[in-house]
A and B are shown apart, each in its own frame.
Chain A
Amino acid sequence: MATMNIIQAVNNALHLAMSRTDDLVILGEDVGKFGGVFRATVGLQEEFGEDRVIDTPLAEAGIIGAAIGMSLYGVKAVAEIQFSDFIFPAYDQIVNELAKFRYRSGGEYPCPMVIRTPVGGGIRGGHYHSQSPESVFVHHAGLVVVAPSNPYDAKGLLLAAIESDDPVMVLEPKRIYRGPDHGKNWGNHPLGQVPEDYFTVPIGKASIARELKGQGVPVTILTYGAMVHTCGKAAEMAAAEGVDVEIVDLRSLLPYDLDAIVQSAKKTGRVVVANEAPRTCGYAAEIVSLVMEHCFDWLEAPVTRVPGYDPPSPYPLEFAYLPDAGRVLKAVKDVAHYA
């Protein structure tokens, strides 16, 4: 076991994966000599060479297009898109090509590969370094989308993504890459105990980030990514006010763990879905809908969302814009005391 932050866990996972086969390459902007703008790929080019850890030209469509060609050929690519805000020049390659290759070729050309990209706000990056685009990638059939919230899952899910026979997008919560700002903006510290050896976290399985304590009105929070920690802080605050919160960390956005969602929702009958992405047609809306379809008879209160607001993320007002523990707490109390 070692104490790691998310960046160290990602770097460790890539080291292990690259050591296991020659048919794996890493490519992206500044991932080689510099080790990535967030330092996730530090030391990899030194160890595995310029041919396998590739500093690409600055063109996301080229990165993903070429990564597809490599992966079709049998050399699996782990592509880094520097910020998920910059992913859209590659949107066509991702949703029309990568996502569809297995299907459209009648199974002749599966294209398993990995896209790593940092998501979410909280780093004072303004609109173009803060977005959470998961809903659009979940919407286009053919992509597996995972969103770790801590170092253990970051490593285990990335290794599972590299092993997967499907194209997988790993959405990394950049504001807790290195541990949190020690200010007051969010909750638990995401340093974690992570095995140094190879392991995977199964794709499609949620985890319980906080269990019910058996005291107070039970409420479920369904969330993922950096928001797991915001919700953790809200849960502590709620406990002091007589509300008992279970937090389900979805981890895998597609395929999602319907059993875990339904089990917790039926247990508490009171559900809050919290995420950073914009409200309208956001991923939270799908989760709310699933709870309604599968748990209606068990519900004690309307399922409530705490998503981001719809406008673009503003620079100085970022911490007014992001869902904070106070907003989550308000929703938790509302569903707990709904009559």
Chain B
Amino acid sequence: MTKAPQADTPTVSTKLMQVMTPNGKVVDKKFLASMPQEDIVRLYEAMLVQRVYDERMIKMQRQGRLGFYLACTGEEACAYGPAYALEDKDWFYPAYREPGIALWRGMPFQAWVDNMVGNCDDPVKGRQMPVHWTAREQNIVSISSPVGTQIPQATGSAYASKLRGDGAVSICFFGEGTSSEGDFHVGLNFAGVWKAPAIFFCRNNGYAISTPYEKTTATEHIALRAHGYGIRGQVVDGNDVLAVIKAVREAADWARQGKGPTLIEAKTYRLAAHSTSDDPKGYRLEKEEAMWRKRCPIKRLKIWLEKEGLWDDDKEQACIEAASDRIIAALQVAESKPHPELDTMFNEVFADVPDHLRRQHEALQAHLESGTADYQPR
């Protein structure tokens, strides 16, 4: 474990925290030494597997098998790092680009894939579009499409854990585009006033769908805003999973000591499109993408692992093939399952189904039985 900053006064550091450069050169040997090697290998494998999953999912969306997908390509370290760094009791509020949190913390893989299809075993019962999963057992809160809403919610959970004195922290994730939302401001302001044990993890990936950073933000670093809320701020290399782990652990230590929240700004880049509904060629230069490909979080770790004799081409190939087989098989299983039952449309709107919804359910049932309905169950 790294030591938390000594002073009680929150400070903002805009110096890029790094453990490993894009060329795989170690610049923080002390932190590296604190990490078990087998864990680094596991993290590498997990991120590589995620890259394969994302590529396969996008292909399958193009084949019309998924309605929608949203990859985290290039930003894998921003999910796997925090998932690794925090404890089981901690709470996670993801945006929609952190599947690594679910898969690292043990959400069942098939359930994650079932969510992409919206079948009867989808944890959210087909009530949201793909990539909006939930994982209660892992303390990962349900995902919303409107951005930033999870920020004040994470503040509230952090406050509740402080009130109970259970030592948990709440972390929430969002992009730099979301930091323009009012919920960012209220969430961080409340957390600062309450010294809530919260971590606000901003993935600065350069774009809010098509709109570049400089069109949404006049400050050089999102992390600088921490100063205005009286909380810690830290800039970290978001493509360096070890640095992300270090930054999150420091923030968690700070929070668990009762010193309040931290705003982490992870400098990264969205190598893929925002989602399957856009094409980055329309809004950014390939030259820029190529530059960031050289800083890929997976690539740098691979260079280091190979140098240490912990990884080789055979392992790489086997890992990719296994992941590819796994995702294809899981999707086939997911596709073979029926839609959720009709009553899932009407139940769990409230704790109990009220009469007016029961009447609407009956009306729909009658309509479907009439043979004139558009909908055909699968």
Contact = CB atoms under 8 A, between A and B. Distances in A.
A312 interface: no
Please provide the 4 A-B residue pairs with the shortest distance between their CB atoms, ordered closest to farther.
Answer: A69-B156, A65-B152, A62-B186, A105-B142
Contacts of B134: 104-106, 108-109
12 contacts: A57-B186, A65-B151, A65-B183, A69-B152, A69-B153, A69-B154, A72-B153, A102-B350, A104-B127, A104-B128, A105-B134, A164-B351
B112 interface: no
Contact of A57 (B135, B189, B356): B189
Interface stretch (A92-100, A211-219, A226-234): A92-100
Interface in B122-173: 122-125, 127-128, 132, 134-136, 141-142, 144, 146, 149, 151-161, 163-164, 170
B263 to A, nearest CB: 16
Interface range on chain A (Cβ under 8 Å from partner): 35 or more
B333 interface: no
A96 B183 CA distance: 13
Name which of B136, B153, B193 has the most chain A CB atoms within 10 A of its CB: B153
Contact of B157 (A56, A70, A110): A70
B349 interface: yes
Contacts of A77: 156
A196 interface: no
Contacts of A104: 124, 127-128, 132, 134, 142, 144
A25 B151 contact: no
B150 to A, nearest CB: 9
Interface range on chain B (Cβ under 8 Å from partner): 35 or more
B308 interface: no
A119 interface: no
B100 to A, nearest CB: 20
B349 A106 contact: no
Contacts of B185: 59
B354 to A, nearest CB: 4
Name which of B183, B189, B190 has the most chain A CB atoms within 10 A of its CB: B190
Nearest to A93: B149
Nearest to A96: B146
A73 B355 contact: no
Nearest to A66: B156
A108 B159 contact: no
B141 A110 contact: no
A122 B149 CA distance: 35
Contacts of B141: 72, 105, 109
Contacts of A65: 149, 151-153, 155-156, 183, 186-187, 190
Given A75-B164, A102-B349, A109-B142, A67 B356 contact: no
Contacts of A225: none
A29 to B, nearest CB: 12
Given A65-B190, A106-B134, A255-B355, 11 more contacts: A65-B186, A69-B156, A70-B156, A70-B159, A96-B144, A96-B146, A100-B144, A102-B348, A104-B142, A204-B354, A256-B356
Interface string B330-373: 00000000000000000011110011100000000000000000
A165 B136 contact: no
A166 B189 CA distance: 28
A23 B128 CA distance: 31
A92 B127 contact: no
Interface string A124-163: 0000000000000000011010000000000000000000
A51 interface: yes
A254 B182 CA distance: 30
B163 A51 contact: yes
A68 interface: yes
A35 B45 CA distance: 56
Contacts of A165: 351
Nearest to A108: B136
Interface string B19-63: 000000000000000000000000000000000000000000000
B350 A62 contact: no
B123 A52 contact: no
A142 B351 CA distance: 9
Given A59-B186, A104-B127, A66 B348 contact: no
B163 A69 contact: no
A61 B153 contact: no
A61 B156 contact: no
Contacts of A75: 159-160, 163-164
Given A66-B190, A105-B142, A25 B163 contact: yes
B151 to A, nearest CB: 7
A29 B86 CA distance: 34
A106 B157 contact: no
A109 to B, nearest CB: 5
Contacts of A256: 356
A73 B149 contact: no
B149 A92 contact: yes
A199 B155 CA distance: 33
Name which of A23, A74, A103 has the most chain B CB atoms within 10 A of its CB: A103
A224 interface: no
A164 B152 CA distance: 23
A113 B284 CA distance: 45
A125 B200 CA distance: 39
Interface string A7-26: 00000000000000001010
A89 interface: yes
B231 to A, nearest CB: 14
B84 interface: no
A102 B159 CA distance: 21
Interface string A266-290: 0000000000000000000000000
A109 B136 contact: yes
